[in-house]
Amino acid sequence: MWDRVLDRMLRQFFVTGALDLTYPNGTTRRYGPGATADAHLALTDPALPRRLVLSTELALGEAYMDGTATLEGDDLDGFFALIVRNNRASDAGWRRWGARLRKWKRVVDQYNPAHRARANVAHHYDLSGELYDLFLDADRQYSCAYFTRPDLTLEQAQAAKKHHIAAKLCLSPGMEVFEIGCGWGGMALTLAQDYGVRVLGVTLSGEQHKVATERAARAGLSDRVRFELRDYRAVTGQFDRIVSIGMFEHVGVPHYREYFDTVRERLRPDGIALIHTIGRAAPPGATSPWIRKYIFPGGYVPSLSEVAAAVEQADLFPTDIEVWRLHYAETLRHWHDRFAANEDRARALYDARFCRMWRYYLKACEHTFRHNRQCVFQVQLTRRQDAVPLTRDYLYPAEAPRQMRAAE
């Protein structure tokens, strides 16, 4: 029975390209209008058709992790490109019902008081530091890089990201900066060393706090950079600048107003905040159940409308909104390739199932950014509309004289 139900679901879902699927009984069927298959998926566990019918995304990810769903040539690129294209094009009724159920459920999934937020962060960020060294750049930037040219290395693109954000903060030596979600400290150390500011960075990850503090001491910056193992909502006082990179995805929609109220309260009247977050160029949705269970519990990618509504309610002025397209797809490609090159070392740290999970995560996310409506938002916020220059020339000073000559 379950084979027949899954067969009907897949015939509705695949409207472009083609998938060859081998069932546990050895039968192979083609789904989609393509003349040749873009990917070939083989199921070996007789329980899988039922699980795929009841929870498709979760069951598929778990089966790949367990090795009971395998791809010919382990072609995750071909498979995810096909799946994501059909996710956008297909209007199958069963998918609409699943999406509605997830949206109803998301308030519970995204409820992130301080104690739960701490547990969610530990799930992902307190993994072995050696794991992150296998695929991140030397500065351990675990967020979207900025490829100002396609031939940049990952290290160069991550440095470009940090300096682009610093430009939007309009820094002056001696300013006090509050970083919400400091990661392993790379951004705070760059701001202190290159721009002469003082930084307070907070994180809920014990591993990140330890590494960031050690890095500040080694760099001789402990007098200008302080890291605290603390929830951002517990910080008091006011700051000249606030920066948050790749943390807003963990806030949860029920807490958006609280987050932006905190930003406003911590920001001095003439201050500037820069929020860098993954976003969806689509209406509000819900997190993949596989991503929520195995990668980012409590995580959610916001739509611009959700961010804007919370900003308005907090009485903040949006002075610049920039959308990065495909930069994260390229970042994830670099991460995957580095991880794959070091997979033997990752397997020694964890096991083969973990490595399959991590590659699946990196490739699924890459193709979501590459083929779906996922991007990065950088939102610059102030309490006064004249707190930043009136044009964007200050972000690209080398181009300003040329622009002025062109206007003459």
pTM of the prediction? 0.91
Question: Residue 407 has what pLDDT?
Answer: 41
* H-run or E-run covering 77: helix 76-89
Strand 225-229 and strand 374-382: pairing?
Answer: unpaired
Q: What tokens appear for 272 in the block? A: 């500037």
Question: Residue 88 has what pLDDT?
Answer: 83
Sole residue written with tokens 């040539």:
73
CATH for 2-91, options being 1.10.10, 2.60.40, 3.30.1050, 3.30.70:
3.30.1050
Task: Name which CATH class applies to 114-324+368-407.
Answer: alpha beta
User: Nearest to residue 281, comparing CAs of 325, 331, 327?
Assistant: 325
Question: Residue 116 has what pLDDT?
Answer: 63
Digitized pLDDT (tens) for each residue of the chain, 408 residues in all: 899 999 999 999 999 999 999 999 999 999 999 999 999 999 999 999 999 999 999 999 999 999 999 999 999 999 999 999 998 876 766 556 556 656 656 666 666 666 665 666 655 666 777 899 999 999 999 999 999 999 999 999 999 999 999 999 999 999 999 999 999 999 999 999 999 999 999 999 999 999 999 999 999 999 999 999 999 999 999 999 999 999 999 998 889 999 999 999 999 999 999 999 999 999 998 889 999 999 988 889 999 999 999 999 999 999 999 999 999 999 999 999 999 999 999 999 999 999 999 999 999 999 999 999 999 999 999 999 999 999 999 998 775 454 444 444
Strand 239-245 and strand 225-229: pairing?
Answer: unpaired
- Supply the Cα-derived Rg of the chain in whole angstroms: 23
Distance CA 197, CA 240 (A): 10
Q: What tokens appear for 347 in the block? A: 């397997």
Distance CA 177, CA 398 (A): 26
At 326, phi and psi to the nearest 5? Answer: 70, -10
Question: 105: how many CB neighbours lie within 10 A of its CB?
Answer: 13
Catalytic residues: 365
Break the chain into its structural domains and give their ranges: 2-91, 114-324+368-407
Strand 28-31 and strand 19-22: pairing?
Answer: antiparallel
At 137, phi and psi to the nearest 5? Answer: -70, 175
At 145, phi and psi to the nearest 5? Answer: -85, 165
245-256: b or e for each residue (b if 16 or more CB lie within 10 Å)? bbbbbbbbbebb
